[in-house]
Amino acid sequence: TGAATVMGTIYALAENNVKTNVVALGAMVANEIGPKAQHPDDVWKSYNGKYVEIDNTDAEGRLIMADTIAYAVKDLKKSLNVNRLIDISTLTGAMMYALGETYTGVWTSKDSSWDKYQEAANKAGELVWRMPFHKDFRDLLKSDIADIANSVSSPKAGSSRAAEFLRSFTDDIDYIHLDVAATSVKGNRGQASMLRSMYNFVSPQEASKIVKNMK
């Protein structure tokens, strides 16, 4: 869902001939059981060399997202002068408990990025709520055998904990994380949640075009 929304945003920008510098990366893998499947307590080496303890095999999506973020930082930061990362995903079921199906949770590393994204979402008519990054949530992911764990059995701050996991791969680049786990689907139909907001965020002056073209 997140990858589809990212590609939809890029398609809309291209269709409207918006002049902006955006690179889209879609994190997509076949999630199939096999002899090489992960097991609890496995240690996985990420793309940037960080070691991750597999505490929860159901928290597998964040692993490919971590690699995608690491690729953007390691391979694209210098060559394309990448100065901001935005990811969107159906990352955690805990969002249903935090914000229900009404608001999309947004984490930003800078107050200015939150202000700009909130404005973009307001123009798009999409409800967003800022959620917290905090070192305490990353501390919950400490591992005795790796640099970080992909999850823990604790029920504390599941969505913020997952956001901090991804943030640990950003190399402190300005970062926005969108968790649409509870807002991406209604009545078994995809909602393209945050597509309009992301479009507005990248190109505020073109916001009216995408709203018109998607009606």
Q: What is the pLDDT of residue 204?
A: 62
Per cent of the chain over pLDDT 90 is 81
* Band (30; pLDDT cuts 50, 70, 90): confident
Q: Hey, which residues does 53 pair with through a beta bridge?
A: 43, 149
Q: What is the pLDDT of residue 203?
A: 86
pTM of the model: 0.92
The packing angle between helices 195-202 and 111-124, to 10°, is 120
What residue type is 211 in one-letter code?
A: V
Largest CA distance in the chain: 53
The better pLDDT of the pair 106, 187 is held by 106
107, 96 contact by CB (below 8 A): no
Q: Hey, which residues does 186 pair with through a beta bridge?
A: 189
The alpha-helical segments, DSSP class H, found in 72-169 are: 95-99, 111-124, 135-139, 158-167
Instruction: Assess whether pLDDT exceeds 90 at residue 168.
Output: yes
Report which DSSP code applies to 43: E
Distance between start and end Cα atoms, the chain: 20
| Residue whose pair of structure tokens reads 């055998």 in the numeric block | 145
Q: Quick one: average pLDDT of 19-37?
A: 88
Residue 100 backbone zone (phi > 0: left; psi -120 to 50: alpha; other: beta)? left
Q: Quick one: average pLDDT of 22-43?
A: 90
* Band (188; pLDDT cuts 50, 70, 90): confident
Q: Hey, which residues does 108 pair with through a beta bridge?
A: 176
Report which DSSP code applies to 176: E
Q: What is the pLDDT of residues 79-122, one digit of tens each?
A: 888 899 999 999 999 999 999 999 999 999 999 999 999 999 99
Q: What is the pLDDT of residue 37?
A: 87
Residue 42 backbone zone (phi > 0: left; psi -120 to 50: alpha; other: beta)? beta
User: CB within 8 A of 40, min separation 6: which ones?
Assistant: 54, 55, 56, 57
Q: What is the pLDDT of residue 49?
A: 97
Instruction: Assess whether pLDDT exceeds 90 at residue 55.
Output: yes
What is d(CA 57, CA 52) in angstroms, rounded to the nearest whole number? 12
* Band (209; pLDDT cuts 50, 70, 90): low
Residue 144 sits at φ, ψ, to 5 deg, of -85, -15
Q: What angle do CA 137, 141, 146 make, to 5 degrees?
A: 150
Instruction: Assess whether pLDDT exceeds 60 at residue 213.
Output: no
